[in-house]
Structure 1
Amino acid sequence: MMHFIQISLIFLNTFAISVSGSDSAENENAEMYNPFIQIGSKYYFINESLKMNWFAASDYCRSHGGDLATIESREELLALQEYISPKGGMVQRFWIDGNDLANEGVFVSHTTGLPLTYTNWYENNPSDTNDEDCVEAFIQLGGTKLLMNDNKCETNFHAICQYRAPTMQKSREICVPLDKNEHCMLRDLAEALTQAADMFKSCSQPVRCSTSPRRSVTYNNFQLNN
């Protein structure tokens, strides 16, 4: 019986640590992504009160821990489109990181230096009219589709900034859900319960349990005589 109580206390202690760790991780995540918000599978930041040229936009995003957005798939474009479209009523234009500044007609990502992996060009574009070397994403007046167009880099638009993931791992492990339906705390509790059950099962075998003289054991300020 004493062994069962001890195991229960260990389990409760693990539960408290799990809850505390989960809250701490959530707070760290909120602080880490600020001011970026999740849109689809990535985190973005759009300052709707500030317009700037493409070069200033790139510096601005970097000053906030990100880069101009790299749209790499239709899914990412549709997620941004859904977020931006409800704010309609006027033409909405945003700088993203594509450009052909180095090699005319070859559009690359300013973030990765690699050719763009996904494009959704507006009709008859890119056109390179008047040295249009930087890529914008825009929604036409009364439209709903997010399209891409090459424009003059000196033009002032809003910027879509994309969060830059850290390149170094954190010093302590943070639980990452295996899928959207899983909660880290539940996984931790399940693992703790399994460990406690194994310990109890082990101690139910006389040859495995301690045969040393009775002693006082303390768990989180609770004292037990064993």
Structure 2
Amino acid sequence: MLWHQLIACAVLALALTQLHSASSQTATSKCAKNFTEVGDQCLLAVNSWLNWYEADRYCHTKGAGLLSLKNDTQLQLINKWLNTSLANQLELWTSGNSLGQKGVYFWQNTGEQSRYLPWATGQPRPYDGDCLMLTGTYSGLGVGNYRLAIRNCSNWAVFVCEQQSQNRSTRVCLKPEAFEMAQVVV
């Protein structure tokens, strides 16, 4: 009788050890590789000079779109992040444009009409182009206070790709005859 209890405890301990090992191998992140979590967004700073169309296409190759803006809190977080990720860059592309209807702006990556438009001084000037760019101002601490300005889409600038936040986790599937890893998007 004592041997049966001892074997049952050993089997239970082994099962619990495997379960703990499997759960400790679960890695969770909101952003894909190379993207940085900034507030509720996953952003990738790209220090390559491209026109708006090429920048948008580049972001799509990364499973993302150009940056869009939702509110002032988000813009403040982006301003801080840009000081380290794209330091000293005065202008960068966003996904905002009026390519479909002059003077009405949409975020290309979401398809939503732009409700939050923090214009730079002297903007908007629709005759300057159809695409929205974040433009910063120099201060003693570098570039900051990014605001929106309208530019010709064929101009060249650096840009930020935005990936929609996803909960990604790696889970271990235990089978008696195999060890497999699967990536699950929750």
Structure 2 alignment gaps of length 5 or more: 172-181
Residue identity (%): 18
Cα separation, partners in 2 of 1:174 and 1:55, compared to 1, 3 Å: closer
Distance 1:96 1:175 in 2: 26
Larger helix share, 1 or 2: 1
Q: Scaled by the length of structure 2, what TM-score is found?
A: 0.74
Distance 2:24 2:107 in 1: 36
Q: Scaled by the length of structure 1, what TM-score is found?
A: 0.62
Q: How does 1:1-226 map to 2 (within 5 A)?
A: 6=8, 10=12, 13-14=15-16, 16-26=18-28, 29=29, 33-48=32-47, 50-86=48-84, 90-130=88-128, 132-142=129-139, 143-164=143-164
Cα separation, partners in 2 of 1:33 and 1:151, compared to 1, 3 Å: same
Structure 1 alignment gaps of length 5 or more: 177-226
Deviates more, 1:37-46 or 1:139-148: 139-148
Larger gyration radius, structure 1 or structure 2: 1
Residue identity matched to 2:34: P
Deviations 1:192-218 (A, max 9, x none): xxxxxxxxxxxxxxxxxxxxxxxxxxx
Cα separation, partners in 2 of 1:22 and 1:78, compared to 1, 3 Å: farther
**SS of the residue aligned with 2:127?**
coil
Deviates more, 1:35-44 or 1:56-65: 35-44
Q: Is the 8 A contact 2:95 2:107 kept in 1?
A: yes
Distance 2:75 2:13 in 1: 46
Larger strand share, 1 or 2: 2
Distance 2:96 2:127 in 1: 16
Q: Is the 8 A contact 1:85 1:139 kept in 2?
A: no
Displacement of 1:12: 6.0
Residue identity matched to 1:137: L
Residue identity matched to 2:45: I
Residue identity matched to 1:161: C
Q: What RMSD in Å do the two structures reach over aligned CA positions?
A: 3.2
Cα separation, partners in 2 of 1:17 and 1:88, compared to 1, 3 Å: closer
Residue identity matched to 1:154: S
Distance 1:73 1:5 in 2: 61
